[in-house]
Amino acid sequence: MSDRQTSMEEWLKGYDEQVQEDKEITASGEYDERSTLKAERDRVYSGFFLESHQGGIEGKYGENTAVRLTSPEGDKLTLWVNGFEETHFNQFIERLEKKGIELPVKIDFLRTQEESKTGNKYNRLRLMEVATGEEVQFELDSL
């Protein structure tokens, strides 16, 4: 054993110090506990924070997208979308990307059931960008 080698306890102490120093710039590896948001139709949901999303999740009725939201009160929620609603959500994300807007974004949204020109009913999701940028992240962090 050389003079330069440290004990495991000394090494772990140095490691813990480095983790503390880097805490602000690294992910914790922990996930927020989220409840499922069962959004009602014909009700406007205002002031929600769209934090992230993940598509391609197999579900009972095919593929779904998990939309991770935070309510204005700070509740961590997941809104599950599929079918036409998933298409509408993806179109919203594409519009944000074309504008150069990154998540999180403050949004309002509305779920409805529409009738097509052929008379078939389908679910529709409308999302409206309310605020973007650093102030949104600051507001989200304060909840």
The answer to whether the beta carbons of residues 60 and 43 sit under 8 Å apart is: no
| Pairing outcome for strands 35-36 and 62-70 | unpaired
pLDDT for 4:
62
pLDDT for 59:
82
pLDDT for 1:
47
CATH number of 34-141: 2.40.50
> DSSP code of 71?
-
Domain boundaries, the chain: 34-141
pLDDT for 136:
95
pLDDT for 8:
84
The answer to whether the beta carbons of residues 75 and 22 sit under 8 Å apart is: no
Tell me the whole-structure pTM to 2 decimals: 0.76
Q: Which two tokens stand for residue 78?
A: 């997941």
Blockwise average pLDDT, block size 10, the chain, 143 residues: 69 82 61 86 96 90 92 96 95 97 96 93 95 94 90
Q: Return d(Cα 12, Cα 24) in angstroms, integer.
A: 20
pLDDT for 18:
83
Q: Return d(Cα 76, Cα 73) in angstroms, integer.
A: 9
Q: Which two tokens stand for residue 77?
A: 């929620």
Residues in the chain: 143
CA-CA distances (angstroms) from residue 130 to 54, 74, 78, 94?
Answer: 22, 17, 19, 16
